[in-house]
């Protein structure tokens, strides 16, 4: 993994903690949450305050995430909102923490100038020893305060102020006034500078969890289902209508279609579908070439085309399917029939524009693992596990590609691959040869009604 770390592809954007004051605050918060401390003088933390160096020192990568639920966090600075979340057990955790920091940025900035803020993502489940307990998680509440209890103390002071203003003869209550003065010394003037954190509750209808080998739970859709990375027979009696494992491609495809969660890349607005398809094909060529021992360091598109010709007979069926689709997109070739059973099927999809687009793209990344760019962007946990099993030739190519093609413009790449343009008038299709279900109207146009009815690769069931 050293190559990934050196190039900022692993543990990138972590926050450096190297001042004695911040280390002392971190230890105070760590003691407050876990009754443990670190002897390190400098280390790095993620958005939750987890440090891989501290984890190694303590021999516990889950020291802020016991049993993988109710993740605890330590905030030393609001800059942590840009950091990644390491060792994620739930796909929603980073988004919740980021939203909480953004919603309370001014308050957290003020609090962290004097102390660390420690907290927890709380739900009603403390241990997921059985898969059914995952379905008991309905919402997550963020609870946070400084290690000195500044927020709770400020609330007490506000309550006392309210009592003082409404209680008859409060001016003669020396005990109440004395307690107010004592608390004000700790909190400052809460009437002018309120010390409050907005309550934060987040629904947990649709999410991915790393527990039990990886499960995608979709409850907040019209047709709920659980999609399991592994043998679903080992997870019995789940309280959901449908269960699919990754071998049940037709079932997953039907689930995505019925809930209107995904769309074909070639139908997406504002994207260069042919370029995306060719890049996916290059990744497949790189996979074959690396298994043949080819040196892929610095390999260009031209180099990969040459390698593709050299190993044409070894290229997977998924490559052939994408090539046929690219020919249709670029040259007006025949429309390829790519059913859900075809290895190329999930490589041709991306999430539609909806609240769970990131989760769907995460699922699609696992279903199309040879697309190393999408796997890195959408599912880093799986990317790192997969990377560990690659040959050195492929590792070298992948790192070089991500540094050269992705790191230079992360936002632009994400927008090009997964962004959505506003709805506009349907464009006129380009003229194509009459080799598919076309109608003649001064040139051949695609019959959109047929595509909408059966999908551009035949019926989802492959019939």
Residue range 406-424, pLDDT digits in tens: 988 888 888 888 887 654 3
* Paired residues of 215 in beta bridges: 209, 228
Mean of the pLDDT values across residues 33-53? 96
Compute the mean pLDDT over every residue in the chain, rounded to the nearest whole number: 84
| pLDDT tens by residue, 104-144 | 998 888 888 888 999 999 988 888 999 999 999 999 999 98
If one compares 160 and 189, the residue with the highest pLDDT of the two is: 160
Among 221, 227, 224, 223, residue whose Cα is nearest residue 208: 227
| pLDDT tens by residue, 269-321 | 777 889 999 999 999 999 999 999 998 988 888 999 999 999 999 999 999 99
If one compares 385 and 111, the residue with the highest pLDDT of the two is: 385
Tokens (6 digits) for 359:
């989760």
DSSP 8-state symbol, 60: -
What gap in Å lies between CA 5 and CA 106, rounded to an integer? 33
Among 113, 119, 112, residue whose Cα is nearest residue 144: 119
Domain ranges of the chain: 2-140, 205-247, 260-424
Share of the chain above pLDDT 70, in %: 82
Of 72-86, 105-119, 171-185, 355-369, least confident by mean pLDDT is: 171-185
Q: What is the pTM assigned to this prediction?
A: 0.82
| pLDDT tens by residue, 225-238 | 999 998 888 888 89
Confidence of residue 433 (pLDDT cuts 50, 70, 90): very low
Confidence of residue 442 (pLDDT cuts 50, 70, 90): very low
3-state helix, strand, coil in the chain (%, to 5): 50, 15, 40
**DSSP helix/strand/coil, 257:** helix
Looking at residue 421, its pLDDT comes to 62
| pLDDT tens by residue, 365-375 | 999 999 999 99
**DSSP helix/strand/coil, 247:** coil
Among 259, 267, 190, 196, residue whose Cα is nearest residue 429: 267
Sign of the CA dihedral 52, 57, 61, 65?
Answer: negative
């Amino acid at each position: 993994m050293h190559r990934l770390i050196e190039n900022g592809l692993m543990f990138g954007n972590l926050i450096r903690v190297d001042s004695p004051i911040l280390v002392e605050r971190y230890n105070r918060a760590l003691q407050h949450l876990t009754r443990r401390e670190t002897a390190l003088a400098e280390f790095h933390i993620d958005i939750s305050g987890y440090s891989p160096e501290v984890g190694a020192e303590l021999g516990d990568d889950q020291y802020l995430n016991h049993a993988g639920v109710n993740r605890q966090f330590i905030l030393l600075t609001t800059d942590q909102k840009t950091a990644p979340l390491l060792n994620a057990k739930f796909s929603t955790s980073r988004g919740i923490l980021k939203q909480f920091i953004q919603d309370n940025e001014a308050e957290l900035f003020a609090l962290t100038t004097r102390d660390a803020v420690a907290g927890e993502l709380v739900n009603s489940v403390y241990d997921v020893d059985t898969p059914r307990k995952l379905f008991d998680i309905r919402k997550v509440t963020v609870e946070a305060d400084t290690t000195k209890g500044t927020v709770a103390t400020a609330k007490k002071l506000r309550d006392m102020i309210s009592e003082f203003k409404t209680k008859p003869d409060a001016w003669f209550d020396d005990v109440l006034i004395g307690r107010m003065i004592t608390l004000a010394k700790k909190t400052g003037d809460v009437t002018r500078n309120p010390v409050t954190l907005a309550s934060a509750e987040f629904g947990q209808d649709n999410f991915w969890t790393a527990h039990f080998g990886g499960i995608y739970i979709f409850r907040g859709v019209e047709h709920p289902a659980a999609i399991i990375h592994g043998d679903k027979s080992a997870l019995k009696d789940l309280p959901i209508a449908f269960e699919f494992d990754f071998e049940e491609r037709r079932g997953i495809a039907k689930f995505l279609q019925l809930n209107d969660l995904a769309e074909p890349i070639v139908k997406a607005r504002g994207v260069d579908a042919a370029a995306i398809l060719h890049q996916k094909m290059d990744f497949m060529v790189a996979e074959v070439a690396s298994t043949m021992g080819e040196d892929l360091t610095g390999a260009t598109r031209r180099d990969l085309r040459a390698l593709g010709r050299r190993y044409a007979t070894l290229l997977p069926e998924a490559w052939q399917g994408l090539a046929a689709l690219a020919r249709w997109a670029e040259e007006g070739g025949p429309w390829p029939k790519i059913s859900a059973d075809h290895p190329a099927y999930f490589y041709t999809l991306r999430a539609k524009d909806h609240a769970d687009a990131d989760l769907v793209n995460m699922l699609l990344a696992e279903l199309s693992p040879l697309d190393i760019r999408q796997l890195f962007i959408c599912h880093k946990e799986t990317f790192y596990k997969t990377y560990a099993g690659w040959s050195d030739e492929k590792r070298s190519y992948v790192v070089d590609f991500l540094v050269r093609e992705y790191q230079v413009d992360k936002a632009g790449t994400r927008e090009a691959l997964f962004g959505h343009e506003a709805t506009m008038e349907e464009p006129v299709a380009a003229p194509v040869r009459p080799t598919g279900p076309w109608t003649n109207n001064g040139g051949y146009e695609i019959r959109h009604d047929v595509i909408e009815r059966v999908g551009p690769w035949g019926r989802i069931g492959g019939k």
